[in-house]
Amino acid sequence: MAGVRRADYTLGHGSTSYRVTHYDLDLDYKLGPNRLTARARLDAVADEELGRIPLDLAGFTVKGVRVDGRAAKFTHRGEHLVVRPVRPVRGAFSVEVRYSGNPRPVASRWGEIGWDELTDGALVASQPTGAPSWFPCNDRPGDKATYRISLTTASAYTVLVTGDLVARRAGGSATTWVFERREPTASYLMSVQIGRYDELELARGQRIAVPRRLRDAAAHDFGRQPRMMAALGEWFGPYPFGEYVVVVTDDALDDPIEAQGMAIFGANHVDGRRTFERLVVHELAHQWFGNSLTVADWRHIWLNEGFATYAEWLWSEISGGAPADEHARVWRSRVGTDVTLGDPSVAHLFDEQVYKRGALTLHALRGRVGDAVFFPMLRSWAHQHAHGTVTTEDFIAHAERAAGVSLRDAFATWLG
């Protein structure tokens, strides 16, 4: 793959001129008018002197910006907020942004993504560029930070945010919920869910938030999730977060969505017959591959989707479905080869080939090195890079160390 001209996978967002270490967000959301009033503080580090600080923020009226406590000039056009501090910053610095408006999804080639209104509530589904629809951020997957999020909204609604609930304060008609996300997290993996939900506990650290009308069907459809968690723990190592929350919205969704320690399903994915069980294990697998191990940039997306798809095949094999060999045989004959897996282009990030050929790559690797090497290799991969960022080259090098032989030819066959 050396010498090949690479596509730009920034998707028009993010900056490598600095990195954010922590976000502190205070959000006040009124559901009826879909109105968000907010303050965001970003703690960041710049290795070089910066006279301008680019942030991603779509829509909203920016009321003021401060850098290290001092008012700063700024321009805000489209999805980009550029801050100009009184003096250039270097090393540790902070940016505070006050803003308000009507949050709405960001338009993209994959449809509208980000903060979205439900029939009775709201959700955030940000992959890959929807995070600026609700907070100013350095929106690139390789820039992972910790978070504190305080959200105030009507008391009749349950609020779930990707993080640990550390406080809840009811005050008349509104309640403030405070969450902390202590593990480094990419901006696109932060999520807010607001709705009228019942909560079901599946196992310790595993729960479902679901509309009451879907309670029994969801209990059945997600009933084998604790077994999935145990199986994925054997294949990939211990679950990387403190808990796992599944949210089932009362509206239909095109596809389930992963977030850090959370997955969001639509009402159309719950039928009481486990029709969509492969999606349950797929989203759970993303907690290891995509969320704990996050791609450095979107070029490497097969490390997310190929691994999650292969988890589907592995689960099928042990739960009474077709073995992984059969899934591989079917998809080898069905999936195309016109997308380069190791450099799929922005247009094909979510192409079926990325998912299925990614899984085929892993199955071929398993056949090459054998189970006695393959599964310990996956566990050490997940452990050594936990809560970090990864690339395809990282994985190839890791696999070769585990196997003790060169695997370049095998990877070249699949990755292009």
Distance CA 64, CA 195 (A): 31
User: Residue 380 to residues 293, 377, 389, 396, 398: CA-CA distances in angstroms?
Assistant: 12, 5, 15, 13, 9
Residue 341: closest CA among 369, 323, 312, 365: 365
Residues 283, 317, 326, 400: which is the catalytic one? Answer: 283
What mean pLDDT value characterizes the chain? 96
Check if the beta carbon of residue 281 is closer than 8 Å to that of residue 315: yes
Residues 136 and 229 in one domain: no
Q: Is 67 contained in some domain?
A: yes
Residues 30 and 167 in one domain: yes
Provide the annotated binding site.
Answer: 282, 286, 305
**% of the chain with per-residue pLDDT over 90:** 95
**% of the chain with per-residue pLDDT over 70:** 98
Q: Is 7 contained in some domain?
A: no
pLDDT for 48 beyond 80:
yes
How many other C-beta atoms are found inside a 10 Å radius of the C-beta of residue 373?
17
Q: Is 2 contained in some domain?
A: no
Sequence-ordered alpha helix ranges (H) in 286-340: 302-318, 324-334
Q: Is 86 contained in some domain?
A: yes
Residues 116 and 168 in one domain: yes
Provide the annotated binding site for Zn(2+).
Answer: 282, 286, 305
Find which of 1-5, 27-31, 106-110 is predicted with most confidence, using mean pLDDT: 27-31
Q: Is 6 contained in some domain?
A: no
Residues 351 and 230 in one domain: no
Residues 403 and 302 in one domain: yes
99 is catalytic: no
Q: Is 268 contained in some domain?
A: yes
- Token look-up 């650290």 returns 205
Q: Is 327 contained in some domain?
A: yes
Q: Name the pairing type of β-strands 244-248 and 206-210.
A: parallel
Q: pLDDT of 184-202, one tens digit each?
A: 999 999 999 999 999 999 9
CATH code assigned at 220: 3.30.2010.30
The SS3 assignment for 396 reads helix
Of the candidates 189, 208, 224, which is a domain's last residue? 189
Give the pLDDT of residue 3.
37
Distance CA 247, CA 226 (A): 16
The SS3 assignment for 40 reads strand
Q: pLDDT of 96-105, one tens digit each?
A: 999 999 999 9
- Domain limits at 64? 19-189
CATH code assigned at 302: 1.10.390.10
Q: Is 4 contained in some domain?
A: no
Of the candidates 161, 189, 217, which is a domain's last residue? 189
Give the pLDDT of residue 107.
92
Number of domains the chain contains: 3
Of the candidates 287, 305, 321, which is a domain's last residue? 287
Residues 299 and 262 in one domain: no
Residues 41 and 132 in one domain: yes
Residues 128 and 229 in one domain: no
Residues 23, 99, 157, 355: which is the catalytic one? Answer: 355
CATH code assigned at 52: 2.60.40.1730
pTM, whole model, 2 decimals? 0.96
Residue 259: closest CA among 277, 281, 283: 283
Residues 185 and 242 in one domain: no
Residues contacting residue 401 through CB under 8 Å, at least 6 positions apart: none
φ, ψ of residue 316 to 5 degrees: the values are -55, -45
Residues 116 and 226 in one domain: no
Residues 206 and 254 in one domain: yes
The SS3 assignment for 185 reads strand
Q: pLDDT of 246-272, one tens digit each?
A: 999 999 999 999 999 999 999 999 999
283 is catalytic: yes
pLDDT for 402 beyond 60:
yes
Q: pLDDT of 304-338, one tens digit each?
A: 999 999 999 999 999 999 999 999 999 999 998 89
